[in-house]
Structure 1
Amino acid sequence: MPTREELVKLSSSFADQGNLAMSGVHIGGEKFFYLSGTDKVIRCKKGKSGMHSMKTLQTILVAVFEEPIQHPQVANVVESLGDYLISMSY
Structure 2
Amino acid sequence: MSWQNYVDQQLMGSGLVAKAVIAGHDGTLWAKSNNIEPTREELVKLSSSFSDQANLAMSGVHIGGEKFFYLSGTDKVIRCKKGKSGMHSMKTLQTILVAVFEEPIQHPQVASVVESLGDYLISMSY
Residues 32-41 or 66-75, more deviating? 66-75
TM-score by length of 2: 0.69
CA RMSD after TM alignment: 0.6
Q: CA deviation at 1:68?
A: 1.8
Paired-residue identity, %:
97
| 1:58-80 deviations in Å (ceiling 9; x for gaps) | 10000011112111100000001
Q: Which runs of 4+ in 1 moved over 2 A?
A: none
CA distance in 1, matches of 2:88, 2:62: 12
Larger Rg: 2
Choose between structure 1 and 2 for higher RCO, CA contacts under 8 A separated by at least 6 residues. 2
Number of matched pairs: 89
CA distance in 1, matches of 2:115, 2:124: 14
Structure 2, gaps ≥5 residues long? 1-37
Where structure 1 has 5 or more consecutive residues not aligned to the other structure, the ranges are none
